Amino acid sequence: MALINELRVLGFSIAIDDFGTGYSSLSQLSTLPASTLKIDRAFVSKIIPETVNEPVIEAVIALGHSLGMQVVAEGVETDAQRCFLVSAGCDIAQGYFYSKPLKVEEMQKLLEVKA
């Protein structure tokens, strides 16, 4: 934990990845020196057409914000998912809806076109 704190002092950002899958301890969440909470794609993929995960995702976003964290949703593939996440207050979304993984040169071209 001391090393993580040292990295933060040096300007590194620490993220909790794949939150909601595997071993995600709520009791430890508030003690970790993380600035970002990433919601796993397993939750995001079921936003539309199923709505069963929507209250869970809203709660995770609210929890992350209450702990002063930026919340990122992984695996966004549709505009409907993006719209839900925006309305739920998610800070950042990533996934194929925006772009497939790109090589550096491809990313530079994409940024030039979007600028």
Residue 28 to residue 80: CA distance in whole angstroms: 32
pLDDT at 23: 66
Residue-range domain boundaries for the chain:
1-113
Give 81: exposed, middle or buried? Use CB within 10 Å, 0-12, 13-18, 19+: buried
Residues forming the active site: 74
pLDDT at 17: 86
The CATH number of the domain covering residues in 1-113:
3.20.20.450
Give the residues of the chain that fall short of pLDDT 70. 22-25, 49
Percent of all residues in the chain with a pLDDT value above 90, rounded to a whole number: 52
For residue 22, how many other CB atoms are within 10 A of its CB? 7
The β-bridge partners of 71 are 37
